[in-house]
Amino acid sequence: MSVIDQNQAPSILSVDLSAILANYQLLKQKAETSAVAASIKANAYGLGADRIAPVLARAGCRHFFVASVAEGIALRRVTPHTIYVFGGIHAGDHDAFTAHKLTPVLNSLDDATRYKGGPCAVFFDTGMNRLGLGPAETKRIVADPELLRHLDIRVFISHFACSEDAPHPLNALQIERFATIRAALAPHYPSALWSLGNSSGIMHFGHAHYDMVRPGYALYGGNPTPEAANPMRPVVTLQSRVLQTRHVAAGDTIGYSATHRFEEASETATIFLGYADGITRKLSNSVGHVYWQGQPCPILGRISMDLTTIGISHLKGPKPQAGDMVEVLGPQQDIDVLAGFAGTIGYEILTSLGLRYARRYIDAP
């Protein structure tokens, strides 16, 4: 992808690497003696693994988790440290694990039997019911730990299903199940690490940090404690350029399917931003807002592929003109707030941000 000139870009996405560094350091404090790995899958949640991984490595991160072999190969170009592939031996070419020194996460006894060489991780499903060794396979291994003896296991892992909701009963059940597995296997695999905690797990369950935690969302500025103020520094800002302003007569409509009708004469601005840029149509018709000089501007009509129209009649002071930039994500509206309006989660907002933005990286010290 070619570099987009910021002076010509329809929108500018800024990624604050110093904020990512600060977030990693805060998570290290919360994790105390546990190693802090980084979930850097989906191109570091859409923000650029090639720029973010080196910053984390300089801060002491030695373990990175990705989803697929392709992600692992790309990440290997920028870090010599351990890269785990969550998707395991079915996530890509088996030979690539050796060629690129990638570490598969094994998700079944069949995986354990088929995998013949090199270090690995083993995933126990303690309640998510996606990937991992389920109850029957786990029971067999607990009864006979020698079933995994042929493997070079570096870490045993599991994953919280509800850690952002601290009181949810599944959290306690998963912690109990993981502790039971650990009590049975740890004496037989004394050099292996144990890892359960994700971003919210780090904050909510200090007694379950074990040897390694694996934050993702919190690194990128997402709130790991939805019940309280966000302790993480914001990482992303997004500004979009105004293409045109106009006066609209009472009774006129706007956008596809004419879903918004003006009750009175109004002023609007059209910005160069649409669902092709990851801004979901669910924000249409005053559900979502952007900001001009700290003032909210409602989205009017339907968001289209390239364009979004906002209301500006109510604004105090100078109003935006063609060429001006409005705030989509930033001090007035972070990823969790925008996600709330869209009826989704901040993870989806981050990973949906498109490729048409000029990306500006604010370097870490």
For the segment 326-346, what is each residue's pLDDT rounded down to a tens digit? 999 999 999 999 999 999 999
The number of CA neighbours under 13 Å toward the Cβ of 284 is 18
Percent of the chain with pLDDT over 90: 92
Identify the weakest region by mean pLDDT among 9-13, 90-94, 189-193, 303-307. 90-94
2 within a domain of the structure (yes/no): no
The per-residue pLDDT for 1 is 39
Regarding whether 77 and 205 lie in a shared domain, the answer is yes
115 catalytic per annotation: no
* Separation CA 121–CA 155 (nearest Å): 5
Regarding whether 159 and 74 lie in a shared domain, the answer is yes
Nearest to 218 by CA among 181, 153, 298, 228: 228
The per-residue pLDDT for 6 is 61
Structural contact between residues 202 and 25, judged by C-beta atoms closer than 8 angstroms? no
Show which of 220, 249, 264 is a domain's final residue.
220
Q: Give the CATH number, domain containing residue 272.
A: 2.40.37.10
Structural contact between residues 212 and 198, judged by C-beta atoms closer than 8 angstroms? no
Residue 82 pairs in a beta bridge with 63
Percent of the chain with pLDDT over 70: 98
Regarding whether 196 and 59 lie in a shared domain, the answer is yes
The per-residue pLDDT for 11 is 94
| pLDDT tier at 247, thresholds 50, 70, 90 | very high
27 within a domain of the structure (yes/no): no
Regarding whether 186 and 66 lie in a shared domain, the answer is yes
287 within a domain of the structure (yes/no): yes
Question: Tokens 């105004």 — which residue?
Answer: 242
User: Whole-angstrom distance between the N-terminal and C-terminal Cα of the chain?
Assistant: 27
Show which of 220, 248, 282 is a domain's final residue.
220
77-132 tens-digit pLDDT:
999 999 999 998 887 778 899 999 999 999 999 999 989 878 999 999 999 999 99
Regarding whether 90 and 211 lie in a shared domain, the answer is yes
Nearest to 214 by CA among 202, 222, 204, 206: 202
* Separation CA 295–CA 327 (nearest Å): 10
Regarding whether 261 and 202 lie in a shared domain, the answer is no
Residue 292 pairs in a beta bridge with 295
Residues 138-152 have a mean pLDDT of: 95
Q: Residue length, the chain? A: 365
Q: Give the CATH number, domain containing residue 161.
A: 3.20.20.10
In whole angstroms, what separates CA 250 from the centre of its chain? 43
The per-residue pLDDT for 326 is 98
β-strand pairing of 82-85 with 103-106: parallel
Residues 236-254 have a mean pLDDT of: 97
Q: What is the 3-state secondary structure (H, E, C) of 147-175?
A: HHCCCEEEEEECCCCCCCCCCCHHHHHHH
The per-residue pLDDT for 10 is 86
Q: Is residue 3 pLDDT above 70, yes or no?
A: no
Show which of 220, 244, 263 is a domain's final residue.
220
Instruction: Give exposure, 61-81, as e/b (b: 16+ Cβ within 10 Å).
Output: bebbbbbbbebbbbbbeebeb
Instruction: Give exposure, 147-175, as e/b (b: 16+ Cβ within 10 Å).
Output: ebeebebbbbbbbbbbbbebeeeebeebb
Nearest to 243 by CA among 201, 288, 304, 189: 304
Residue 310 CB-density burial (10 A; 0-12 exposed, 13-18 middle, 19+ buried): buried
Regarding whether 193 and 265 lie in a shared domain, the answer is no
Structural contact between residues 312 and 268, judged by C-beta atoms closer than 8 angstroms? yes
Cβ–Cβ contacts within 10 Å for residue 190, how many? 7
Regarding whether 169 and 56 lie in a shared domain, the answer is yes
Regarding whether 262 and 295 lie in a shared domain, the answer is yes
197-229 tens-digit pLDDT:
999 999 999 999 999 999 999 999 999 999 999
Would the pTM count as exceeding 0.75?
Answer: yes
The per-residue pLDDT for 2 is 43
* Separation CA 43–CA 250 (nearest Å): 46
140 within a domain of the structure (yes/no): yes
| Number of domains into which the chain is organized | 2
Regarding whether 343 and 311 lie in a shared domain, the answer is yes
23 within a domain of the structure (yes/no): no
7 within a domain of the structure (yes/no): no
11 within a domain of the structure (yes/no): no
The per-residue pLDDT for 307 is 97
Regarding whether 84 and 213 lie in a shared domain, the answer is yes
Identify the weakest region by mean pLDDT among 3-17, 49-63, 156-170, 186-200. 3-17
The per-residue pLDDT for 120 is 97
Residue of 28, 30, 41, 319 marked active site? 41
256 catalytic per annotation: yes
Regarding whether 281 and 200 lie in a shared domain, the answer is no
133 within a domain of the structure (yes/no): yes
In whole angstroms, what separates CA 32 from the centre of its chain? 23
The per-residue pLDDT for 8 is 65
The per-residue pLDDT for 355 is 86
Kindly report the average pLDDT of the chain as a whole number: 95
270-317 tens-digit pLDDT:
999 999 999 999 999 999 999 999 999 999 999 999 999 999 999 999
The residue type of 229 is A
Question: Tokens 């040897």 — which residue?
Answer: 211
Domain that holds residue 174: 32-220
